[in-house]
Each structure stands twice: as C-alpha cells, then as structure tokens.
Amino acid sequence: MVIRFFGKKLSSFQIIILGFLGLILSGTLLLMLPISVKDGVGASIEEALFTATSATCVTGLVVKDTAIYWSGFGQAVILLLMQIGGLGIVSVAAFIAMISGRKISLLQRSMLQDSISAHQIGGIVKMTIFIFKIALTAEACGALLMFPIFCKQYGIYGIWMSLFHSVSAFCNAGFDIMGDKTGTFSSLTAFSSNVGIVIPICLLITVGGIGFLTWADVAENHFHIHRYHMQSKVVLSMTGALIIVPTFLLFLFEYTEGSFKSRILLSLFQAVTPRTAGFNTASLSSLSGAGSMLLITLMLIGGSPGSAAGGMKTTTIAVLIANASSVFYRKKSLELFGRRIEDGAIRNASTLFMMYLILPMFSAALISKVDRLPFGTCFFETVSAVGTVGLSLGITPSLSLFSHLILILLMFFGRVGGLTLVYAAIKSKKPNGAQWPVEKIIVG
C-alpha cells in the first residue's frame, strides 16, 4: 500500500507528521464544541488549538485551567489526546487494526519501526502489543494506588482523578485536574508530602519515560543485566543518574526547610518531573537561579528513545559525554559498555544538541521582545515547550497570540522529533560513491 498526498508519494516520516497534525486538528475541533467547556459557550480557536497541541504532544502547558475551564467531555478529549499522543498515533492505529483482525502491511510495519525507534522491522507487531500491555498495566496500577487517597478527599470524583493523573503521568503529559492553580501553577502542591501520590506519580513518569525497547529487553532477560543491549544499559544508567544526582542537589541546596520526609519527597519529585512530565509539588518561582538552571538542563535532556517523553533523550547525552571522554583520553573510537558507537550516532547527537539549544533560545528572544518579559523567564517556558515538559513560571496564559503560536510549534517539534521533521522536509540524496578531498580544520 502506498499513501499519496496531492499525488505525491509520502515517506513514513511524512505520514507520522501528518498523523500528528490530523490528531491535533481533530482535538481542536472537539474542544471548540460548546459541550467541551463548562460555560457551554465553547473555546476560542486559539485556546482549543493550544490545548489540543499540548495534549497531543504530551506537554502540559495550558492557557486555561483544565479542571475549572474544561467540562467532563473536554477533559475526556484531553485524556484521549494524551493517550494517543503518548503511545504514538501509528502504534494506536496499528493496535486497532490488529484487534479488528486486519493484517499489518509492510508500510505500516516500517512506520511502526520509525515511530518507536526500533532497530529492526522484524517483530515490530509483537512489540506493539507489548507496548499496549505495558502502558495499560502501568496506568491501571497507578490509578489503583492513587484511588484511595483521591476518593478519600474528593469522593466518587476521585475515580476520574486517579485515572486522569495516571494516564497523564505515564504519558509524561503533565496535565492535572486539581482545580486550584494560581499564577504559579501549583499543580500537585497539595500532595507534596503525600507518599501515596508522589511515589506512584514518580514511578509512572519514570516507567513511561524509559522507553518500550528497554522494557522489552528487561522482560526478555529479567535481572541478567549482562545480557541487556548496550542501549538498555545506557538508558537505565543515565535514568538512574539523572534521578539520584538532581535529587541530592535539590535536597542540599533548594529544599532546606521542613521535615526530612518532606524535603526528600520534594527533591525527588522535582528531579523526576522535568523529564518530561510537567507536574510540580512546589512553587517553581521560589527556586534559586542555580535550581532553575538545573531544571532547564533536565527538561532539555528529557526521557529515552521509544518512550512517551520528549527532549534530546538520555542516549543523546550519553553519546556526547562518551565522545568528549574519547577526546580527553585520545581514543580512536567512541565506546559505551564495551561496544563501539558508529559515527552516524555521534553526528545525530551533535545535531540534536545544537537544535535543542538554538531553537528555545531564539524563540525565547522573540517572545521576550514581543511580550516585553525577562529573557530568563521566557527561556524556561520555551525549553519546557520544546522538551514537551509543561512546567511553567505562570506566563503562558498571558502571552500574545504570536508567542502562543511559537510555543505550539515548539511543542510539535519536540514531540514529533527534530530529525523526523528534517528527514520529512529534506529529500535525501543517493550517494554516487565520489567524495571530496580531505583537508584538516583546527577546532578549539
């Protein structure tokens, strides 16, 4: 089966992009319906488009409070957009086709491979089934763990709250329906010391951000770590380091008041959520400059390949660190866990690093100029958007239409992936075997 658009044959990358655009458009139209808003009037196209993009791209930035502004139907639309956006449009479409008894074509298998960053096309259908088993099991367990606490405080409404926040956390979306947000976006601050909420949310964010390929490796090899693929070892070690080290730093330098338990829970949650969930249990405006920079760094790094998380990815940072190490020690090749890394991975990592730094910086400069806001505040917001995080210093609702459109583009870029957009826009050239002469250039 060949898919064409205006007579042009589409690549798998272009189909994935059109799929996300179609989902965002559908979500926008649904959120503009009067039934989606509590006042029965209907949202404006700007409000609906921004919210649909944020939910589909599992970001969590909002222009209207989700609990107060959107009705039960509107919240259900947001939940559906988060679920499809988090698992991937291609994966959801393939899963629906499978349960309806339809055969998955070679093109669909190729798109699935690109969608979840799988190494090979073989076994991709089995992997898709595994993805849904992991996702639905994790979300169900998370909802059950939070159910007693939410129901005790909110009654029967706690069932919906448990489900909504479980899906939002696993998909790294960051939407909440607490209904008590202030200008600083308090999110889950009311439960900052509640182990029954903080730990399940942290676990869901981590499980959803590790990546399905890694979980498949763990499921196959269990605790025989030496059998894991090199990528799984990189993902797990980087994930552990990016949780433990920031938690330690935040505990020592940011959250210095209160009981030991509350400080640990605050530090742990603020270390986990920037990659890339967007919940928070403490006011972000109270962070020091160093604390804000730590969160910005975590937002840029994000989760791991083949997951619901955004950002540059843990593997990208690992490759860059290993590359720097190989230069320092004057090694001829880049190595990780006893394996050499191909040159293409180094080029991709360097390109992604450049894109994820330049785009939010340039966008922040534009927003700062247009809305007359401090660059640092705008940079936090643009990094949150491109990293599909959703953490906010409270300026998003008051931004101009121009700035909202910038954030929409950044969220789309962050979810679809920078290289996916480039590959879809630029046609690759077939190599002809000829190469230019080599000449040295001094670097550094």
Does the residue 430 lie in any domain? no
Q: pTM of this prediction?
A: 0.90
Does the residue 215 lie in any domain? yes
* In the predicted structure, residue 233 carries a pLDDT above the cut 90: yes
Question: How far, rounded to the nearest angstrom, does the alpha carbon of residue 218 sit from its chain's CA centroid?
Answer: 22
Does the residue 435 lie in any domain? no
Contact between 57 and 415 under an 8 Å Cβ cutoff? The reply is yes
Does the residue 427 lie in any domain? no
Confidence of residue 6 (pLDDT cuts 50, 70, 90): very low
- Give the model's pLDDT for residue 185: 46
Does the residue 92 lie in any domain? yes
Does the residue 365 lie in any domain? yes
Q: What are the pLDDT digits (tens) for 67-85?
A: 999 999 999 999 999 999 9
- Give the model's pLDDT for residue 338: 87
Q: What are the pLDDT digits (tens) for 278-314?
A: 898 888 888 899 999 999 999 999 999 888 888 999 9
Sequential DSSP letters for 281-344: SS-GGGS-HHHHHHHHHHHHH---TTSS--SS-HHHHHHHHHHHHHHHTT-SS-EETTEEPPHH
Residues composing the chain? 444
Q: What are the pLDDT digits (tens) for 312-367?
A: 999 999 999 999 999 898 888 888 898 898 888 898 899 999 999 999 999 999 99
Contact partners, residue 316, CB within 8 Å, separation at least 6? 301, 348, 349, 352, 353
Does the residue 433 lie in any domain? no
Q: Print the domain residue range for 279.
A: 4-420
Task: Return the residue matching tokens 């999110």.
Answer: 187
Q: What is the DSSP letter of 158?
A: H
Largest Cα separation within the chain, whole Å, is 73
* In the predicted structure, residue 403 carries a pLDDT above the cut 70: yes
For the record, the structure tokens of 427 come out as 């046609």
How many structural domains are present in the chain? 1
- Per the model's pLDDT, the better-predicted residue between 88 and 296 turns out to be 296
Contact between 307 and 209 under an 8 Å Cβ cutoff? The reply is yes
What does the H/E/C string look like for 180-237?
Answer: CCCCCCCCCHHHCCCHHHHHHHHHHHHHHHHCHHHHHHHHHHCCCHHHCCHHHHHHHH
Does the residue 443 lie in any domain? no
Instruction: Provide mean pLDDT across the span 424-444.
Output: 72
Separation of alpha carbons 214 and 437, rounded Å = 41
